[in-house]
């Protein structure tokens, strides 16, 4: 998929991986709707992108992915401004084992909400142009992260949901590809949560295990993930793929055929 003039929507775009994904899409000629609950940082990023890529290449929209109404409004505003979307990245996510219902609502339900809205507007069977959805899982979506059982569950859910959507699209002919990116530890603010007892809750005592995992896997930088994200967006042979991104390199996950 060539990205020139394509329309992308990225959730959690204000910072971290979402900012990286948005930036590489802009660098490759796409127009990007930046959705985030953090208005201050999101509006500041929009100013930065305006200076780098021009004022008509990105759009910041305040949006909480816990709200179906706000996501629907963000899609409508994107379509009014740029036209129908071709690319959807459901990236917004948190760590909160204390308020685990919030983590489920954002990390898993927010991905379902965003994916279903993308299907509604991109499905070739209902007038859409087709396209690609890249959901953000985690290495914790492929194996357990002991300090965050619910976060692990949400990410396993994102992986399974995305693979099922890819299979449904293949069978039904939506013309949409669905892939999931599964990074290990990346240098962003979310890592701070691992050291905050109010976020790790009853699993705060596992901090030493977490530190060992971080030592074992290392910490990768956002651009190393963004370049692999771009592969999932542009390579039209990729549907139903889970791409693990580790410090030692990246690999497409082979799942057992049961
Ligand atoms: N940093 C890491 O080590 C890894 C992160 N991930 C995933 O990457 C995604 C992005 O996280 P990071 O960039 O690392 O963290 P981050 O905390 O730097 O960025 C998360 C962004 O999502 C936004 N956000 C949070 N809740 C939201 C909501 N309800 N609605 C809309 N936006 C919301 C935040 O305002 C922030 O801009 C998450 O899904 C995370 O689980 C996956 C693997 C590794
Ligand atoms: C609490 C989350 C902190 C930051 C965000 C995030 O998602 C980071 C995840 C980083 C690492 C997760 C590691 C999980 C490790 C084990 O469960 C393994 O079983 C993972 C499965 C396959 C690993 C493949 C490999 O090591 O080559």
Task: Report the chain's mean pLDDT, rounded to a whole number.
Answer: 97
| Torsion angle (degrees, nearest 10) of CA 23, 24, 27, 30 | -90
Q: Is the minimum distance from the CB of 69 to ligand 1 under 6 angstroms?
A: no
pLDDT of residue 257: 86
Section 31-43 average pLDDT: 98
Task: Classify the complex by whether its ipTM is higher than 0.90, answering yes or no.
Answer: yes
CB of residue 144 inside a 6 A radius of ligand 2 = yes
Tell me: the pLDDT tens digits for 77-87?
999 999 999 99
Among 9, 13, 18, 244, the mutation site with the greatest number of ligand 1 atoms within 8 A of its Cβ is: 18
State yes or no: pLDDT of 1 exceeds 90. Answer: no
pLDDT band at residue 122 using 50, 70 and 90 as cut-offs: very high
Confidence of residue 18 (pLDDT cuts 50, 70, 90): very high
pTM higher than 0.90: yes
Return the minimum-mean-pLDDT range out of 81-85, 94-98, 161-165, 254-258: 254-258
| Per-residue pLDDT tens over the stretch 125-150 | 999 999 999 999 999 999 999 999 99
**Distance from residue 140's CA to the centre of ligand 2 (Å):** 4
pLDDT at 90: 99
Domains along the sequence of the chain with CATH:
7-245 (3.40.50.720)
What's the pLDDT score for residue 2? Answer: 83
Q: Give the ligand whose atoms come closest to the C-alpha of residue 154.
A: 1
Q: What does the pLDDT look like over 47-66, one tens digit per residue? A: 999 999 999 999 999 999 99
- Cβ(158) – ligand 2 distance below 6 Å: no
**Ligand 2: nearest atom to the Cα of 248:** 27
**Cα(134) to centroid of ligand 1, in Å?**
14
Ligand nearest to the CA of 220: 1
> For ligand 2, is residue 217 a contact (CB within 6 Å)?
yes
pLDDT at 124 over 90: yes
Ligand 2 atom having least distance to the Cα of 142:
21
């Amino acid at each position: 998929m060539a990205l020139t003039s394509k329309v992308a929507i990225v959730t959690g775009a204000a910072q971290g991986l979402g900012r990286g994904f948005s930036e590489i899409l802009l660098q490759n000629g796409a127009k990007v709707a930046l959705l985030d609950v953090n208005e201050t940082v999101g509006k500041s990023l929009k100013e930065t992108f305006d200076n780098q890529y021009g004022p008509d290449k990105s759009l910041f929209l305040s949006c909480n992915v816990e709200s179906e109404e706000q996501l629907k409004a963000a899609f409508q505003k994107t379509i009014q401004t740029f036209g129908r979307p071709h690319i959807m990245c459901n990236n917004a996510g948190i760590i909160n084992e204390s308020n685990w219902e919030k983590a489920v609502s954002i990390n898993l339900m927010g991905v379902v909400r965003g994916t279903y809205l993308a299907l509604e507007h991109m499905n070739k069977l209902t007038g859409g142009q087709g396209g690609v959805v890249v959901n953000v899982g985690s290495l914790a979506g492929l194996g357990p992260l002991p300090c965050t059982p619910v976060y692990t569950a949400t990410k396993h859910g994102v992986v399974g949901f995305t693979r099922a959507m890819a299979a449904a699209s293949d069978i039904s002919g939506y013309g949409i590809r669905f892939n999931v990116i599964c990074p290990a530890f990346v240098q962003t603010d979310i890592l701070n949560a691992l050291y905050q007892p109010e976020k790790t809750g009853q699993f705060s005592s596992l901090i030493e295990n977490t530190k060992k995992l971080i030592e074992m896997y290392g910490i990768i930088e956002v651009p190393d993930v963004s370049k692999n994200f771009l592969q999932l967006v542009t390579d039209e042979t990729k549907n139903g793929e889970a791409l693990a991104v580790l410090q030692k390199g990246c690999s497409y996950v082979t799942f057992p055929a049961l």
